[in-house]
Chains A and B, each alone.
Chain A
Amino acid sequence: MIRFRNPGTQYSTQVQVIKQLYASLGPQAYFTLEDMAIVIAQGRLMTAYGYAGDDALRLSNTDQDSMNSALMNAKMYAEVFRMLGWVTPYSEKSSYPLVFSYIGIHVALSEGDCSRLYEQCVLGINNPTQLTDKMRYDEKIRFFKCALRTFIDLGGIMYKHELCLGPMSINDEDEEAYQNMLIKIKTIRGSYTRLQTAFSDLANSLGMKTTPVDNCTRLPIGFMKSCNWVESVTNRSLYGKSMSCLKITQHGIETYEAIKDMYDLRLDQFNRLNKSAQMAMIRLGAYAMLSRSGYDISSVDRTIASDLSVCRDILKGREILFSPCQTIRRNLVEEALGITLGHGIDSTHSIDMFESAVDERKALINTQVWALNIPDGAATELLCEAEDAVFLNRVNELKSCGYRSSEIVKRLFAYYEDATQTTFYPLIATLFKVMGFHCSFSRPGDNGARWDAIIIDEARSIPIEIKSPTEEQHLSIKAIRQALENKIVLLSRKTHATEPEVTTLAVGYYMPNERAEVNRLISDFKETYGYRIGVIDLHSLLSLSISILVDGKGFEKEKLFSLEGLMNANI
């Protein structure tokens, strides 16, 4: 099966990026991924962690290429542009660096929206080519021509996985294979289970999981939608259940009708031609693409007439469908077109020119750790609710089984993994009460109080935003936003006494996945509004409480009122 990588960019962005790249890198003999990354970032066509321009490059400057989002972005564009034939390797020996192709330069210099040339480039995608000798698949196909034909032959509508089972997995020059593919898909249709089985079998045969196979449909669907060949529709008839499918448009049908009888030149046939025919075919292919895209090529009419004469016996009066920049190495293309690319100044860009800010970001991941070393006892006077008794009994049971405090924490933490709001909110209130804070929780559904629990203090009350593990396992940015809102609401409505500098808490089962992002948001809120937001996970709260209940050791409680950022406590 053809493995289309899944870079998710839109047509308009692709065109903007190639224009920007050419404007900046056109004078260079060749360009590297770093050149691309810097131009794309400085053109603000990519971001890293919400930053654009030089800041994005600083946050991308890391020794680990896979963590370098600017470089990864550039690589994604390079792959798409190479597929579209807009860029091509500078040398025959390696994939990088790159040069702009003849067609790529036309796209870059286009003053319109160049949608017609884009469409020609999408139709030009074919396999195999001289440029794709390291692929893990060997299908011989002009994919989008075959896909359009398949849509038409299957009644105009297809589900995305049928693309994998169908046109992505055949040689389109083998008519029998094509017809068998149609029969296979028609046989699968009618039963969603059959489709799932067929798709899963396909993934197994490729040694892949189903998700990456599914991802391979993103790029072709993106291309087809950009060309207005297909559109999304909801369909029940294919598999007896409502599914988001693709429907060929009138333009898609017309496009197939226009190309179906063209002379479709592939690499194998090209290689069998003599040199003069090869040269002629390259010129005819490139000029035909430009002509169909609305370019005025009348100045090369005589060349075209001469080339048509050379290829008369092959073309037999048919128009040619052949994209040389997507199929043939650049030296031959340039020889045929009488042009020389790859001349100019050396590459000038390096990400190392941007002082790395990666460590600054890493520093944001830090979590403060509270020591459990102050003699303390549980505030039993506060533990008078039924929910408190349930928790204390559970701890006592574990204690009587001989478990140490760390083991009790571990078991309780696992026990509450599936807790809903109804269990989790009172649990959090109980834990704070064990520590000696007067904490009350709101019943789920009580919209009057915006916070889920509150530590009530004579002058320094703390609102608590709680996320139960069934709402979200890892605390998210959403909880931090709600903690800020709780603080503002409390200061506005004055239902409990507090002060602006007293913390507002977000409590969840696990710490946030995006710790750097959450810490940065907390810091942004402090800088903008002046409020402290503290984040605590269940494991830390259990550690604090069990340490007090079982080991008689507590923590410096004053710290809670001024907590800012992520807090951790482990027995």
Chain B
Amino acid sequence: MQIFKETANRNRICILSELPTGIRYYHAGPARAHFADKTDSAIACLGCVNPACMYFSEEEVCCDTVEGFPHDQSLSVCPMEAMKWNDCADSPSIDTTKCIDCGICISRCPVGAIYFDGRIKVNLDSSSKQRYYKVDAKSIGAHIKQLDELERVGRKGVMISESDELMNIIYDKLSHVRNNYHNIIGRNLLIALGCKCSMRRIGDVYTRMDAIYTSRGGTFGAVEIEFGRDTLDASRGVLDDIAVLYTRYGVDKFTNKVLVVCLQLPNARQGYWQVVKDVKTVEHIKISTITIGALMLLVWNGRLFIPESDSYYVDYDNMSIRDTLIKQIGRTINISDKELGILEPLK
């Protein structure tokens, strides 16, 4: 039986004439690649054969700390399905009406060709370092090898600079996102921050938790993702998650570093904070809390999610995650006190 081979869905294959020594991100412009000869230039989209800006690897969406955890296998990097491949241009195109400016795609481009300038854009202006070849097995092989090497190139700079104005634009978009996108936004941000993260399949009501994650540092936990106002549901949910993971998968309740990902931190007067403290007092379990906005800040600054040492544990006695973010990003955060409830409760 004759089985035909697929050809790469590309018009041409791009390979850099030399590997950059480093890549520096800039707000409002494409990143610049620095080369050994002291020159630097912005690199256009390479038209990667398997574009990391569009697809996660199967390993990334599989948190194998819990063997057999049934999970959604969607590999889509863009949680909003705003990114499509443009066959004519050999590059991704972004539907700005769907894009929420999370910046995950920026963080995954091997050469920093995707950038934010009021909206997410793709740099298509080729650099002199880019060479184009006919599509064949040899050029595809060389291209894939170079993509592997690019993963190891150091990166610096800030992909998107935060501000109250920008966060308000993004949060306005997030507030209109339909429920079925909430979990994948949380999952994809955690993956972009170096975690392996598995998300419950849509419609699977028996697998209680929204997701599970393992950080780069090896910390494991269940995740509850809550975009609504009833964050008490999330604190109750994590107690349920701990029980299910313990009885069905043998995960010790004290090694399960549960995480609540919410759009906004609950208001100070909401019962959530006191209940988190109660759970710590009675059960000695520390529930970590982080916002979608804070996760985005970490992505934009090229950081990992580091939950080790219970760094994101906050409760009634201290409801702010600002200090943790400052420590992890290494600078002050340009978001006003209480703005949108991203780093402190709004009220």
B55 & A113 in contact (Cβ 8 Å cutoff): yes
Tell me the interface secondary structure of chain B in the complex.
mixed
Instruction: Judge whether A189 is part of the interface by a CB distance below 8 angstroms.
Output: no
Instruction: Judge whether A489 is part of the interface by a CB distance below 8 angstroms.
Output: yes
Instruction: Judge whether A425 is part of the interface by a CB distance below 8 angstroms.
Output: no
Residue interface mask A472-493, B partner, CB < 8 A = 1: 0000011001101100110111
CB of A121 to closest CB in B, whole Å: 15
B243 & A521 in contact (Cβ 8 Å cutoff): yes
Instruction: Judge whether B246 is part of the interface by a CB distance below 8 angstroms.
Output: yes
Closest Cβ neighbor of B278 among chain A residues: A492
CB of A213 to closest CB in B, whole Å: 21
B4 & A106 in contact (Cβ 8 Å cutoff): yes
Instruction: Judge whether A187 is part of the interface by a CB distance below 8 angstroms.
Output: no
B236 & A47 in contact (Cβ 8 Å cutoff): no
Residue interface mask A512-528, B partner, CB < 8 A = 1: 00000100010111011
Q: Which residues of B contact A50 (CB under 8 A)?
A: 70, 204, 206-208, 244, 248
CB of B217 to closest CB in A, whole Å: 25
Instruction: Judge whether B275 is part of the interface by a CB distance below 8 angstroms.
Output: yes
Contacts A47-B204, A300-B2, A485-B236; is A295 near B275 (CB within 8 Å)? no
B6 & A527 in contact (Cβ 8 Å cutoff): no
Instruction: Judge whether A403 is part of the interface by a CB distance below 8 angstroms.
Output: no
B236 & A52 in contact (Cβ 8 Å cutoff): no
CB of A71 to closest CB in B, whole Å: 17
B242 & A528 in contact (Cβ 8 Å cutoff): yes
Q: Which residues of A contact B9 (CB under 8 A)?
A: 112, 116, 294
A485 & B275 in contact (Cβ 8 Å cutoff): yes
Closest Cβ neighbor of B238 among chain A residues: A481
Q: Which residues of B contact A111 (CB under 8 A)?
A: 6
Contact for A492 among B2, B246, B281, CB less than 8 A: B281
Contacts A51-B248, A116-B9, A524-B247; is A16 near B73 (CB within 8 Å)? yes
Most buried by A among B6, B7, B203: B6
Contacts A47-B207, A50-B248, A481-B239; is A13 near B73 (CB within 8 Å)? yes
Q: Which residues of A contact B237 (CB under 8 A)?
A: 481
Instruction: Judge whether B286 is part of the interface by a CB distance below 8 angstroms.
Output: no
Instruction: Judge whether B282 is part of the interface by a CB distance below 8 angstroms.
Output: yes
Q: Which residues of B contact A478 (CB under 8 A)?
A: 233, 236
Contact for A527 among B84, B240, B247, CB less than 8 A: B247
B206 & A517 in contact (Cβ 8 Å cutoff): yes
Instruction: Judge whether B75 is part of the interface by a CB distance below 8 angstroms.
Output: yes
Task: Determine the distance from Cα of A118 to Cα of B206 in the docked complex, in whole angstroms.
Answer: 31
Q: Which residues of B contact A295 (CB under 8 A)?
A: 4-7
Instruction: Judge whether B288 is part of the interface by a CB distance below 8 angstroms.
Output: no
CB of A265 to closest CB in B, whole Å: 21
Instruction: Judge whether A299 is part of the interface by a CB distance below 8 angstroms.
Output: yes
Closest Cβ neighbor of B55 among chain A residues: A113
Residue interface mask B96-138, A partner, CB < 8 A = 1: 0000000000000000000000000000000000000000000
Q: Which residues of B contact A109 (CB under 8 A)?
A: 3
Task: Determine the distance from Cα of A295 to Cα of B244 in the docked complex, in whole angstroms.
Answer: 46
B68 & A492 in contact (Cβ 8 Å cutoff): no
Closest Cβ neighbor of B253 among chain A residues: A528
Instruction: Judge whether B1 is part of the interface by a CB distance below 8 angstroms.
Output: yes
A491 & B242 in contact (Cβ 8 Å cutoff): no
B244 & A492 in contact (Cβ 8 Å cutoff): no
Contact for A524 among B50, B69, B243, CB less than 8 A: B243
Task: Determine the distance from Cα of A119 to Cα of B247 in the docked complex, in whole angstroms.
Answer: 43
CB of A339 to closest CB in B, whole Å: 4
CB of A559 to closest CB in B, whole Å: 24
Instruction: Judge whether A290 is part of the interface by a CB distance below 8 angstroms.
Output: yes
How many chain B residues have a CB neighbour from A under 8 Å?
48
Q: Which size bracket describes the interface of A in this complex? A: 35 or more
Q: Which residues of B contact A53 (CB under 8 A)?
A: 68
B236 & A481 in contact (Cβ 8 Å cutoff): yes
A47 & B279 in contact (Cβ 8 Å cutoff): no
B204 & A447 in contact (Cβ 8 Å cutoff): no
Closest Cβ neighbor of A489 among chain B residues: B278
Contacts A47-B207, A50-B208; is A528 near B3 (CB within 8 Å)? no
Task: Determine the distance from Cα of A524 to Cα of B244 in the docked complex, in whole angstroms.
Answer: 6
Contacts A10-B74, A450-B275, A524-B243; is A488 near B282 (CB within 8 Å)? yes
Q: Which residues of B contact A13 (CB under 8 A)?
A: 73
Q: Which residues of A contact B244 (CB under 8 A)?
A: 50, 524
Instruction: Judge whether B228 is part of the interface by a CB distance below 8 angstroms.
Output: no
Task: Determine the distance from Cα of A525 to Cα of B238 in the docked complex, in whole angstroms.
Answer: 12
Task: Determine the distance from Cα of A302 to Cα of B71 in the docked complex, in whole angstroms.
Answer: 46
Closest Cβ neighbor of B281 among chain A residues: A492
CB of B246 to closest CB in A, whole Å: 5
Q: Which residues of A contact B275 (CB under 8 A)?
A: 450, 485, 488-489
CB of A317 to closest CB in B, whole Å: 24
Task: Determine the distance from Cα of A8 to Cα of B206 in the docked complex, in whole angstroms.
Answer: 17
Instruction: Judge whether A367 is part of the interface by a CB distance below 8 angstroms.
Output: no
A110 & B6 in contact (Cβ 8 Å cutoff): yes
Q: Which residues of A contact B201 (CB under 8 A)?
A: 47
Residue interface mask B1-36, A partner, CB < 8 A = 1: 111111101000000000000000000000000000
B236 & A49 in contact (Cβ 8 Å cutoff): no
Q: Which residues of B contact A251 (CB under 8 A)?
A: 84
Which residues 454-512 of A have a CB within 8 angstroms of B?
A: 477-478, 481-482, 484-485, 488-489, 491-493
Task: Determine the distance from Cα of A520 to Cα of B74 in the docked complex, in whole angstroms.
Answer: 30
Instruction: Judge whether B320 is part of the interface by a CB distance below 8 angstroms.
Output: no
Instruction: Judge whether B283 is part of the interface by a CB distance below 8 angstroms.
Output: yes
A481 & B240 in contact (Cβ 8 Å cutoff): yes
A294 & B6 in contact (Cβ 8 Å cutoff): yes
CB of A365 to closest CB in B, whole Å: 16
Instruction: Judge whether A228 is part of the interface by a CB distance below 8 angstroms.
Output: yes
Which residues 518-566 of A have a CB within 8 angstroms of B?
A: 521, 523-525, 527-529
Residue interface mask A405-419, B partner, CB < 8 A = 1: 000000000000000
Q: Which residues of A does B touch, CB under 8 Å?
A: 8, 10, 12-13, 16, 44-53, 102, 105-106, 109-114, 116, 228, 251, 290, 293-297, 299-300, 337, 339-341, 447, 450, 477-478, 481-482, 484-485, 488-489, 491-493, 517, 521, 523-525, 527-529
List 10 A–B pairs whose Cβ atoms lie within 8 Å, in order of A's numbering.
A12-B73, A48-B206, A50-B248, A105-B3, A106-B4, A295-B4, A339-B2, A484-B240, A528-B242, A528-B253
Q: Please list the 5 inter-chain residue pairs (A to B) with the smallest Cβ-Cβ separation, ordered nearest first.
A: A50-B206, A492-B278, A481-B236, A528-B243, A524-B243
